[in-house]
A = this chain, B = another copy of it.
């Protein structure tokens, strides 16, 4: 049920003020700061109503109001002004990409830094990957007489490596020939498309070992839906007043380890296109229940892509966050398109 216009306006002001100051906002302060044509008493009545509707709460009896998770949700869904970055802001960001070298990993790291610095919160970006992983080319390098390094380049330009132990000695010549043969046979294929060998015709032990390693490597690669994300700005985020106590910092520090974060990213919120916002207890996992994600997919439709987003306390500048995430996602999409070529 929608709020009355005045009530909604007051909610928006409470959110704005609280996001800015991190202090509970009182009726009188609100009236003065925004020159409302109302008395503080009226605002108090509205606040009481907003509290009944679950949009705001008190930390304690005689404190000002702070938005509840529900209030934030209402705010971002109905009240928040849409805003795009100004040309000036866009330029500042683009400029940094032009400074960097043409390297995908570097771009990802840079994008994360940019986001983190602008939003004073944690930025996370997963490496771009294709849904379908195709083998592009493999290489075999002798390390010891019975061990080799398998290097596989996949269609998303990822380079993967693994050592293989053979039951028999091998030489580089042999490996090079084998690599050429396997490239011809498996190149350009997904694991699912790998030709099944006629089992009656026994493979050489070496060949079998390489194929096994290759298959396993690509399967593992494909299985990992999302890589552990690149994370920047942990410190920026922890500087926010909500992390004032050190035990809170330590717990959060734990929660934003790349590996834990990978599983915590609420990917289901990204079913629809556009920027998704996941607030507080909309997160399933405990440690993130008073934080919010602002997430978007990046990458050309059907091509290699990943997730870019911001994680911070629920008290967050959602409008700016959305604008920044959207813009950075667009920039990354464009860079990837360039990198992999239009044709892909």
List residues of chain A with CB under 8 Å of any chain B CB: 102-104, 136-137, 139, 141, 143-145, 147, 149, 151, 153, 157, 159, 161-163, 165, 172, 234-235, 238-239, 243-246, 249-250, 253-254, 339-341, 343
Contacts and interface: CB of A to CB of B under 8 A. Distances in A.
Contacts of A139: 137, 139, 151, 153
A117 to B, nearest CB: 14
Contact of A102 (B145, B165, B244, B343): B165
A159 B162 CA distance: 10
Contact of A341 (B137, B143, B149): B143
Contacts of A246: 238, 243-246, 249
A143 B161 contact: no
Which of the listed residues A161, A172, A245 has the most CB atoms from chain B within 10 Å of its own CB?
Answer: A161
Contact of A250 (B141, B149, B153, B238): B238
A101 to B, nearest CB: 9
A245 B163 CA distance: 46
A254 B245 CA distance: 17
Given A143-B341, A144-B341, A246-B244, A159 B157 contact: no
Contacts of A153: 139, 141, 149, 151
A143 B157 contact: yes
Contacts of A243: 246
Given A161-B159, A250-B239, A340-B143, A151 B151 contact: yes
B253 A144 contact: no
Contacts of A234: 253
A137 B234 CA distance: 39
A137 B145 CA distance: 16
A162 to B, nearest CB: 7
Contacts of A340: 143-144
Given A102-B163, A243-B246, 5 more contacts: A144-B343, A149-B159, A151-B153, A234-B253, A235-B253
A238 B235 CA distance: 14
A294 B147 CA distance: 34
Contacts of A250: 235, 238-239, 249
A167 to B, nearest CB: 14
Contacts of A339: 143, 163
